[in-house]
Structure 1
Amino acid sequence: MKEYKNIELKTNKIPLEGLGQWIITISGDDWAKILVRAENNLVANLQVPGFRKGKVPAHIAKKHIKDDEVLRNAGNSAIKIAYQYGLDQKDLDVKVTNKPGVEITDLSKSLCKLIFNFDLPLEVDLKAYTNFDIKKTEVEIEQAEIDQQVKLLKDRFAVYSPKEKGNLVTGDIAVFDFTGTIKGEEFPGGKAEDAQLEIGSNQFIAGFEEQMIGMKQGESKVIKVTFPQEYHIENLAGQEAEFAVTLKEIKIKLLTDNNEELVQDVNIPNVSTYQELVEYIREQLKEQKMRSVKDEFINNLFTEILKSANIIVPNSLIDKETDRLLNEFKMQLKQQNVTFEDYQKMTNLTEEEVRKEAQKDALWQLQTYILTEEIAKAENITATDGEIEDYINQISMQFNIPIEEIKKNMKDLNFIVSNIRRNKTLDWLWENNGSSTKTVEKKAAATAPKSKTTADEVKPKVSKAKAAPAKSKKN
């Protein structure tokens, strides 16, 4: 590289992105020579009618070659020259760890500036991770919460019976067809047959259910509503719509008053009496709340540990985890019948902005995973053979798969071992930081926040259909 005298190389580290950079600028006579070679290369390959290839006179050739073509050609040459220049340097604090990404950030007749991006190598410098004084939230179980869970279960396992007489009232189940139009034109998703709706559940947009009250079986009616301004489908937001509705059937919901029948309906293993069901619900609520408390505590603890620890995650790992999180998020949107484009319109976020948010989550997950692994090593936390067997047994029971089949299809136990080790390490951190957490059971009659944990474990006999005029899911 002695031929080049006007090449400047600076290094830059971006630890939070796991990124190391070579910032290389070529200017002066060195850049002028590269430009001349680029122009000569274009002239040598220029084809002009009436002249042989490479034999076009210079004054004619220059008329056919544009300045930006010369710059692009010179820029491509500069990439090879700059990269080799970096390789020839000694003792750079940013090493070559992978095939770099390269970006030309400045390209003109006076200079060429390039940035080569490399992974910073994984680096872990773990400091203190015990005796942090982080508050553990007190867990409270109120009787009202247990009562609410029982109510939800009774509602889930209600019997639906045809209504023999009377008009549609609040609490009834309407079975109906509808066709929605805006300015006389039907719109996608605005039509359904045999839709089911509990009147008063507020599942549909404001005014829809109220206008159905009083309808008779077999009656048709036009319902006029306005979609909310924040509706998740942009072209419907704020629009006035008409729905031609035909009420086909009215059902009533019959809740059981027999607690023992409810026990049989939910059919939970090892629960045969109503008192056992209540105890099961109480334990589920405890477990749910303790899990939430532990998650919050561990997140706060990791935040404190990371203030003193030094963890550099290679950029390529961050990119892969970001891609995984984004794909997972898009699948979740799809399950809610929302496209990624609709989500962007709802949030006014560009794809790059969404990716940046996902990148933050990806870095956090990777850092906390690495932290957990390092702490497990430091404290000799491992998975025993018995714990591995128990884990496989749990999978077998949960998914009703024979144990031998699980072992046969499992290429290795690394995934199971990693999960067990991680959970044990998190438990160890819980025990060795903060103050103890109490579980308090209250019998106050105050209204408690709704919890779906217990009710969601059992399947309802009747599912409610969702239709186009349903409320927006946007918060």
Structure 2
Amino acid sequence: MQVTETLNEGLKRGYTITVSADELDVKVNEKLAEAQPDVEMKGFRKGKVPMALLKKQFGQRLVGEAMQETIDGAMNKHFEDSGDRPAVQPEVTMVDGETWKEGDDVVVKMSYEALPTMPDVDLKAISLEKLVAKADEASVDDALKNLAETAQDFEEKDGEAEEGDQVVFDFVGKVDGEVFEGGSAEDYPLVLGSNSFIPGFEDQLKGVTAGEEKAVEVTFPEEYGAENLAGKPAVFDCTIKAVKSPRAAEIDDELAKKFGAEDLAALRTQITERLEAEYAGAARAVMKRHLLDRLDEVVTFDLPPSLVDAEASQIAHQLWHEENPEVEGHDHAKVEPTEEHVKLAVRRVKLGLLLAELGQKAEVEVTDAEMTQAVMNQARQYPGQERQFFEFVQQNQQMQQQLRAPIFEDKVVDYVFELADVSEKEISKEELEKAVEALEDE
């Protein structure tokens, strides 16, 4: 077997692999000898079929297998000896493939883009600033007020029902004058503006008073779940029992107990810890961006054009769909990347390769427990279909990689944080919010 270099330009590589007819014949004979003990053929005992007859019977079929195995072996040995790592799957074509016949040498062209050699990075020389924000009393008070509003009670009021009020009423729904199943209830508490009823229903209850009777006329949506009601007009005869206005719960120990805390002091402590955890998450995002910016500045190496082109196309495609949300499919015209798309692609590919190299050197791994947690978090987006989602992920390598990649990246970033020169800076919540907003504007 002979491997001859035909191209070595930047990261582009080209080789010709030649497998002689004799080598291929030896490989075929090896495969026949391996199979001979198990072959049964009329007129011969098992394992006693002559090699010449085996070759005549099965040789043609084994040539393809032998050819593929030999070329794969040559490619693997080349990558092992050269140390090259292809950026994408190498392109392999057979020279004179249409005219090749048994007894000829096999000549294959292989081309690929090699991943670049990463420069050493002195992570300890990278200076970063860690923003630290504390939860002040005003922020805790605001959070308590929000909790009190979510735990609001309702008290009866005189006068007409308004947006946000609770109307307690009996109703009987009819379609074509006939009462339908599931269309009636007694003492039903409905908060106006909750949009929990058919569109238009709640608006017609605005202005009602306790003791009033009202016929609410609506039309079921065309996509309504019950086929016998979808798209049909209906009348609901309503008897108003009470109109109640919302009243925020008192901020006291009783409120704290509703949220699982022992008393108000314990609830304030929980809120403080939650807020500061949120601040820490936001501060980490800011520091991560600054780290990536710094790495982008100080590290330089050649990038495989194929990876940049693929990333730019993906960015352009994704942004196009965000700008055209009404288009759900992907059968639209090709979206050509702009200079801005390419610029962003260069950054992403560069940082992606660098973080992958840093993670490999640091032996960073995503554990099974971390993957399981990631799958569980994602599965919550599909209530009632969690099991199907788990099975889908198990069978889909691409989906597994999509879930693993951000976990790996964050673990590498944390590794760099540990080595970098990090100083803390205490700031206010407002200053932290501005720092986060600045990231979104970039």
User: TM-score scaled by structure 2?
Assistant: 0.47
User: TM-score scaled by structure 1?
Assistant: 0.44
Structure number with greater CO (CA < 8 Å, separation at least 6) is: 1
